[in-house]
Structure 1
Amino acid sequence: MNLNGKVAYITGGSKGIGFGVAKKLIEVGMRVAISGRKLKTVSQAAEYLGDANQVLALESDVTQHRDEQKAVRAILDKWGQLDVILANAGVGHFAAIDEMSEEQWHSMIDTNLNGVFHTLKASVEALKKSKGYYMTLASLAGTNFFASGAGYNATKFGVVGFTQAAMLDLRKYDIKVSTIMPGSVATHFNGNEPDEKDAWKIQPEDIGDLVLDLLKMHPRTLPSKVEVRPTRPDKK
């Protein structure tokens, strides 16, 4: 894929992994739309990333299919195409199953799992036209379960299964589909404030480099599921 001038959409793009990926894509000449639940926050991130010709800030709650439909329409209205999507928006609540609230459970299911469906459903016709690339941001928690992770594990196992099945459905249209499964990443996830203590972790821009590697892969080859982890985990 010749990336210059291509159009990407990143959900949850105002900070963390989404922001790091957006920065890398813009550096190679792509135009990027980023979305989040609060337009003010997304707009501030967009201003940092580039000018209005390069970056589009969108308010969208991925738990709402109509929001994602509106976001995709806005991208097509502005740039006339949609080539790459990273369904990145996600939340995490960690508690033993007997202590987890229904609200926490549904928050994760609605955002992490329903969200990737809403994003793909809203964009699939545009991706058919562009022979584009749809990526989901899963986690190593999508293959490795852990205590107090029942809700999060359920969603990320679901994202992996959803993405792999969607890959089989959509490759006949020359749409590539992959899921990225990171381990520990230096982000604000789960209330963390990234600083020097997170230097051992994967950095958001590292995921950006990985996305670029996937986009530059020969069309005949598809890494459909990519696990990535810190080289040397922190010793506590």
Structure 2
Amino acid sequence: MQNIDNKVAYITGAAKGIGFGIAEALVKNGVKIAISGRDSEALEKAQQVLGTQNVLIIESDVRNFNDELKAVEQIISKFGKLDVVIANAGVGKFAPIDEMSLEDWNSMIDTNLTGAFHTLKAAAGQLKENKGYYISIASLAGANFFANGAAYNASKFGLVGFTQAAMLDLRDYDVKCTTIMPGSVTSNFNGHTPNENDKWKIQPSDIGQMVVDLLRMNPNVLPSKIEVRPTKTK
């Protein structure tokens, strides 16, 4: 089992939901973290819960490559290195293709797919230097298409393919790459407010524990693609 104390991790879209669940799990296991997002107020609230000593908040839009370059620079300035990158930022809008607006299509592709590329490209040098780990948070929608989900499906199918190809590009540098594909998760995704009816779903803390387990795993073992579902359907 690998020691992850004092590792440094960067999590995008981590003010709420799955990203926050991952951040919380990492902090509890001795990892120093940076969390980013577009909502500075939400980031500050998250930092208050997580603690301020080993938590850096960064206002960044993953759709903008320069934002991600600056984010990595801030992390190195604060912690001296970067070991783990978790591309979690994502949005979802659902409509038939003939009703899907150009703005919604571009928002999903630019955030869910191109944003993940921006984050990894900005951090790749650090990951190669530190034999690090890149994890993308995809979705079962990246393997199972559904009506009204053309843009979301496309972004998540693309993210799965991107991460698997990145694994082949980076494995010879001892950089691991994994994509996690959750089913129904209790989160704030798409404007949802978590409530009692969400108990049957995967919890953000469950994804957080999964990330911890991946980081602790034997260096010779790589679960490159993980599908995870609730045990029951309500």
TM-score category of the 2 structures, normalised to the smaller one: over 0.9
Deviations 1:170-202 (A, max 9, x none): 000000000000000000111211010000000
CA distance in 1, matches of 2:76, 2:128: 14
Instruction: Name stretches of at least 5 consecutive residues in structure 1 with no aligned partner.
Output: none
2:28 match:
27
What is the aligned length? 233
> SS of the residue aligned with 1:145?
coil
Q: Superposed, which structure 2 residues align to 1:103-142 within 5 Å? A: 103-142=103-142
Deviations 1:51-81 (A, max 9, x none): 2x21000000000000000000000001111
CA distance in 2, matches of 1:187, 1:7: 25
The one-letter code of the counterpart of 2:36 is S
> SS of the residue aligned with 2:161?
helix
Q: Superposed, which structure 2 residues align to 1:72-91 within 5 Å? A: 72-91=72-91
The one-letter code of the counterpart of 1:4 is D
1:6 match:
7
Percent of residue pairs identical: 62
The one-letter code of the counterpart of 1:223 is P
The one-letter code of the counterpart of 2:72 is V
**1:44 is aligned to 2:50:** no
Give the superposition deviation at 1:203: 0.3
CA distance in 2, matches of 1:5, 1:205: 20
CA-atom RMSD in angstroms: 0.7
TM-score normalised to structure 2 length: 0.98
CA distance in 2, matches of 1:163, 1:17: 18
The one-letter code of the counterpart of 1:24 is A
Give the superposition deviation at 1:216: 1.1
The one-letter code of the counterpart of 2:4 is L
CA distance in 2, matches of 1:195, 1:40: 22
> SS of the residue aligned with 2:184?
coil
Give the superposition deviation at 1:137: 0.4
Query: Which is worse superposed, 36-45 or 12-21?
Result: 36-45
The one-letter code of the counterpart of 2:43 is V
The one-letter code of the counterpart of 2:60 is S
2:167 match:
167
> SS of the residue aligned with 1:10?
strand
The one-letter code of the counterpart of 1:58 is I
Give the superposition deviation at 1:46: 1.0
2:220 match:
220
Instruction: Name stretches of at least 5 consecutive residues in structure 2 with no aligned partner.
Output: none
TM-score normalised to structure 1 length: 0.98
Query: Which is worse superposed, 185-194 or 198-207?
Result: 185-194
CA distance in 1, matches of 2:209, 2:24: 10
2:144 match:
144
> SS of the residue aligned with 1:56?
strand
> SS of the residue aligned with 1:9?
strand
